[in-house]
Structure 1
């Protein structure tokens, strides 16, 4: 199963007041942490969707194993970034059978979290495999190509969660214990670095 990864990193971090993609964690940026874990897997290609502060972020993450896509409509919400990443993925990789959507601020993501999604899909035959944490389901999440059309139709700030809720019969989950820890505020970041 040919699987690509889309890392969503287009937001402006308005509550934080500075680009969270560039926050330092264990000697590298949050975004670099996610990129590195994605590149440890067998998934190809890895696409990073940028928007706010795109030039600054891209300049600090030069890597010929990763493609950067600029979402000019990033202010319209996460859906536009999913559409930008997936449409680029499909256009350049017609053999892609599934994608994994990840986000740039889950500092605790590991290669194993990504591989667990793929293993669970093979084991269950379900077409959506989501991570579960903090009594919710979310990213990283795997979608088989059956759902590409629905993903490309997303609008606004909704992200892909509506698709998950509408297709529970075709969904399985894997546990990502620290997946609920993301960075939206200075307090979140201070809590993160205090755990190093």
Structure 2
């Protein structure tokens, strides 16, 4: 089975004032940490979508070995999944979708999901946490046509919930991993950890006085496929 990982990192951060992908997390950037987890999953192909912060991300996050798909209109509501589908390898049986600001998703959750949807083949797979469903989720190639109709990335959940397709649900330990959609959720996400010098932290600025973002990221360990 050939599996493509799709890490969505094109979403803007209007409630934060800076690209959430470049917030500090465990000594590096939030996207850097999430990307490292995605690489540990051992996908046959890994795609990352980037939006308006693409230039800053390229400067601060190692994207070696990753297929980058630019989606500059994601900030205005366009789905970054649609252009990403054009980059999916022809051999791929489907995609595992992850989110660029959710580092708490584990490779174990991804492996369990892939194993369950592999046989018998299921068009949709989703992880069920203690407090609800969340990423990662799986879409077989037969649903790529449906995914191309999405107007926003979040609309893929409507495709999951409308009941038109069989769904495999895979249980995972704990609650849905936190995302950094607001400063409060970011504080909870990094609670108990000290950010690296020079990175953006909660309370370090207001909407009118941003501070510099990190200028470099930690070298990333490459995972062989």
8 Å contact kept, 1:3–1:98: yes
**RMSD across aligned C-alpha pairs, in angstroms?**
1.9
Normalised by the length of structure 2, the TM-score is 0.78
**For residues 97-120 of structure 1, what are the alpha-carbon distances to aligned partners after superposition, in whole Å with 9 as ceiling and x for unaligned?**
111111011121121121111011
Deviation at 1:82, TM superposition (A): 0.9
1:47-196, aligned counterparts within 5 Å?
47-77=47-77, 80-89=79-88, 93-133=89-129, 135-156=131-152, 158-167=154-163, 170-176=166-172, 177-196=174-193
Gaps of 5+ in 2: 194-225
SS at match of 1:68: strand
8 Å contact kept, 1:9–1:49: yes
Deviation at 1:124, TM superposition (A): 4.7
Deviation at 1:195, TM superposition (A): 4.0
Cα distance in structure 2, aligned partners of 1:4 and 1:133 = 23
**For residues 168-187 of structure 1, what are the alpha-carbon distances to aligned partners after superposition, in whole Å with 9 as ceiling and x for unaligned?**
65101223434341111111
Question: Aligned pairs, how many?
Answer: 192
8 Å contact kept, 2:38–2:107: yes
8 Å contact kept, 2:15–2:182: yes
Higher gyration radius (CA): 2
SS at match of 2:139: strand
Cα distance in structure 1, aligned partners of 2:87 and 2:61 = 19
SS at match of 1:160: helix
List structure 1 runs of 4+ shifted beyond 6 angstroms: none
Between Structure 1 and Structure 2, the one with more helix by share is 1
Gaps of 5+ in 1: none
**For residues 108-164 of structure 1, what are the alpha-carbon distances to aligned partners after superposition, in whole Å with 9 as ceiling and x for unaligned?**
112112111101112453221112236432321111111111011111364201110
